Amino acid sequence: MGDVYVIVATDKNRKLYSGETPIIPENQRLEMIKSIKNVKEARLGRSDNDTLRTVEEINPEIIFLGPDQKYNQETLKRGLEEKGLNNIIVKRLETYYDKYELHSSSLIKKKIIKEYKK
């Protein structure tokens, strides 16, 4: 495995794209990602939302989009080509890391609501 860089969505973008304010604040999510041993660098998404500028700064060989990310894969590829970054592979992850039952904040919220209603 090569160097792994992770861009953590800002609270603003998380709410914009999912319709919900995240339970875990952006700085806490960022700190958790930074603590993963294979992550070389983690940073918050840009306040100006210029994803392609972040890609230029990192210059990765491959970009993985999460299964629930709203970013259109073809739009990203076209943007990369326009910037002369057409050597970057773009793939969408098809599955979540689901080793544990509560592997996402939405599942945690659902479990809390279910327990609260008992």
Residue 1: predicted pLDDT: 62
For the beta carbon of residue 113, count every other beta carbon within 10 angstroms: 9
Q: What is the pLDDT of residues 7-63, one digit of tens each?
A: 998 999 888 877 888 888 999 999 999 999 999 999 999 888 888 899 999 999 999
Q: List Cβ<8 Å contacts ≥24 apart for 58-61.
A: 58/5, 59/85, 60/5, 60/88, 61/2, 61/87, 61/88, 61/89
Residue 107: predicted pLDDT: 82
Rg, Å, the chain Cα set: 16
The CATH number corresponding to 4-117 among 3.40.50.11610, 3.30.70.580, 3.40.50.360, 3.40.50.620 equals 3.40.50.620
Q: What is the pLDDT of residues 61-99, one digit of tens each?
A: 999 988 878 788 899 999 999 999 989 999 998 877 777
Residue 37 has what DSSP assignment? T
Phi/psi for 60 (5° steps) reads -80, 165
The ranges assigned to domains in the chain are 4-117
